[in-house]
Amino acid sequence: MKKSFRPLIPALLAGMVLAPASLAQDRHSTQQAEFQVQTFTEGLEHPWALAFLPDGRMLVTERPGRLRILESDGTLVPDLVPGTPDVAARGQGGLLDIALHPDFENNRLIYISHSISGGNGMTTAVSRARFEDDRLENLERIFTAEPFSGATRHFGSRLAFDRDGYLFITVGDRGEKDRAQDIDDHAGSLIRLHDDGSIPEGNPFTDRDDARPEIFSYGHRNPQGLTLHPETGVLWEHEHGPRGGDELNIPEKGLNYGWPVITYGMAYSGGTIGEGTEKEGMEQPLLHWTPSIAPSGMAFYDGDHFPEWRGDLFVGALAMTHLTRLEIEGEEIVDEERLLEDRGQRIRDVRSGPEGYLYVVIDDSDAEILRLVPAE
């Protein structure tokens, strides 16, 4: 069982042509490095995720259901990417995460998580397609979380490939917390699949009739951060708590991460949830944020422009509107620093760019993508 840890620092639309980023910037001094914030692009509507193409361009999802292309200089291409899946853009749902296949340069496959509607409500789904000639072709759905729900929140939806080529998908508890302890229900779990959506034989519950064979770990509330450590290849995950109790975990096969039986958070009404903060057979988080920062998006920095940050983990915060930088030794958090607090912006995604800059996706109806560069 992992040791619990408290942080060391308390707790526009299609058709409009946008010019390249003005690169207006402001300077920040931090514990480890000085950086400037550039407005890389703007005019996005609730962007959710960013992915880097090998040719230097980027793909960005907008929650209402649009996939956009950014040129390498930040110019937002006016035309929408055709061929995107139908989405149910209600509540917290819509077009959400995006990930490139590890062999994208050869197979051109991309993966998109999104919410869909069905006869019994909504759920999380993942579709894949070929990205050819700036459009999506041969779109197919490879995963649908079952069962559907009338709720419009907690879709999870982060995507990540590990070094063995497995696709991991987070699915939230849909706001129906007891579902996270039911392994015959995809809600509140981390899913592991082959790249075509088939189920790996090594998944922990494939031999049980009372479980969903796609589940890798369970007892998660609403996981919206998922990334690989650039050196070890270990998968890291974070999730929203209620009032407090946001968690950072290293999910392992078949393990139960406790929600809602154990949590460091409390109900929005102020009451208690579950049986306390620990229970045998349930995992402790590496770190928990109390009060809640509402973490969303997460990336290890592995570039050259900020050698002081190499190996640090960056986490966006929606509620506390900042960027958290975590220093890590092995699997231990040794320091935490909060950046960009003065801007008061909800951070939805964080990505370490291939050229060594750090990109920060803002969640707003008229949103920016920021780029962190070394101070001049």
> Is the pLDDT score of 282 beyond 90?
yes
Quick one: pLDDT at residue 24? 54
Indicate if 194 belongs to the active site. Answer: no
* pLDDT tens column, 141-166: 999 999 999 999 999 999 999 999 99
| 236-251: average pLDDT | 98
Amino acid identity for residue 373 in this structure? V
Percent of the chain with pLDDT over 70: 93
Q: Could you give phi then psi for residue 170, rounded to 5 degrees?
A: -95, 140
CA distance linking residue 256 with residue 245, whole number of Å = 16
> Is the pLDDT score of 218 beyond 70?
yes
In CATH terms, is domain 25-374 a member of 3.40.710.10?
Answer: no
| 198-227: average pLDDT | 98
Domain ranges of the chain: 25-374
pLDDT-derived band at 217 (thresholds 50, 70, 90) equals: very high
How far lies 281's CA from each of 46, 180, 191, 262, 284, in Å? 39, 15, 20, 11, 10
Quick one: pLDDT at residue 318? 98
DSSP bridge pairs for 366: none
Quick one: pLDDT at residue 26? 84
> Is the pLDDT score of 181 beyond 80?
yes
pTM: 0.94
* pLDDT tens column, 299-334: 999 999 999 999 999 999 999 999 999 999 999 999
CA distance linking residue 68 with residue 70, whole number of Å = 7
pLDDT-derived band at 280 (thresholds 50, 70, 90) equals: very high
Q: Which residue has the tokens 């139908």?
A: 86
pLDDT-derived band at 81 (thresholds 50, 70, 90) equals: very high
Report the mean per-residue pLDDT for the chain: 94
Give me the catalytic one of 154, 186, 240, 288: 154
* pLDDT tens column, 15-51: 344 444 555 568 999 999 999 999 999 999 999 999 9
